[in-house]
Amino acid sequence: MGKQTAHHSSETAFVRPKTAQQAVFEALRHEITTGERSPGSVIVQDAVAEKFNVSRIPIREALKRLEAEEYVSYAPHMGYRVTKLTVDELAEVFHLRDVLEAELIRDAMPKVTGEDITQMREAMAEMDEAAKDADLIALGVANRRFHELTFARSSMERTKRIVAQLWNTADAYRPLYAELMDMSKVNTEHVLITEAMAERDTDRVIALNHEHRKRSIDHIREALAE
């Protein structure tokens, strides 16, 4: 029995090196979510291959994965582009998130722990630091983590995957409206959501989440109008 245990621990300690496909996937996703590649921009595979000094095979695989996660879209004879949505399509994405996250929050709430609340506060602190450094990427990551913690305890895994895809679809637009966000207002709303979570007030968390998201849609409409 002792030998089996030792063998198991050595297996779990093993860390697989990053593949070329994974490296390209992460690099392209980073460029999309930071606005370096804007919505609708064409992704030229030869140029990507030259930039990252890899063959086209890992690029094709990375692009298929990005397509599955809705960061990019493919059209015959046109190739891959960063997913571009109209204002109405973006509003639909945010509306779907609103509806589905409400269900996830209802399912998660009875299982929420004190540790979840602590992690939400930590995510808020990370957002504060990122805002001071004007680091939009870190800000976006911490913001997403904060919101995912409101429903992390839900057992509705399929719904969580759909919500993750909806987040991905809108990620490319975050740099466009980030400057319009009033961070002090965002922080206040996050504090209120956290307090409602700590009190296990499901309806209040959902209502606050709804108002919070509605403001994001208003910002998107304003940014795209410009």
CATH number reported for the structural domain that contains residue 212 in this entry: 1.20.120.530
Distance CA 206, CA 186 (A): 16
Residues 124 and 205 in one domain: yes
- State which residues form the domain around 43: 2-82
User: How many residues are given for the chain?
Assistant: 226
- Mean pLDDT over 2-16 rounds to 50
**pLDDT above 70 for 39:** yes
| CA atoms within a 13 Å half-sphere pointing along the CA-CB vector of 94 | 24
pTM metric for this prediction: 0.80
pLDDT band for position 17 (cuts 50, 70, 90)? low
Residue range 205-217, pLDDT digits in tens: 999 999 998 888 8
Residues 6+ apart with CB under 8 A from 159: 100, 103, 104
CA angle, residues 165, 140, 104, in degrees to nearest 5:
45
Please indicate, yes or no, whether residues 29 and 109 belong to a single structural domain of this protein.
no
**Quick one: 96 and 69 in the same domain?**
no
How far apart CA 192 and CA 42 sit, in angstroms, is 41
- Quickly state the pLDDT bin for 2 (edges 50, 70, 90): very low
Q: What's residue 141's pLDDT?
A: 87
Do 108 and 46 belong together in one domain? no
Share of the chain residues as helix, strand and coil, in percent rounded to the nearest 5: 75, 5, 20
Q: Are residues 114 and 218 in the same domain?
A: yes
Highest mean pLDDT among 19-28, 31-40, 127-136, 209-218: 19-28
How many structural domains is the chain composed of?
Answer: 2
Same domain, 221 and 124: yes
pLDDT at 15: 60
Asked if pLDDT for residue 198 goes beyond 50, the answer is yes
Average pLDDT, the chain: 88
* 103 phi, psi to nearest 5 deg: -65, -40
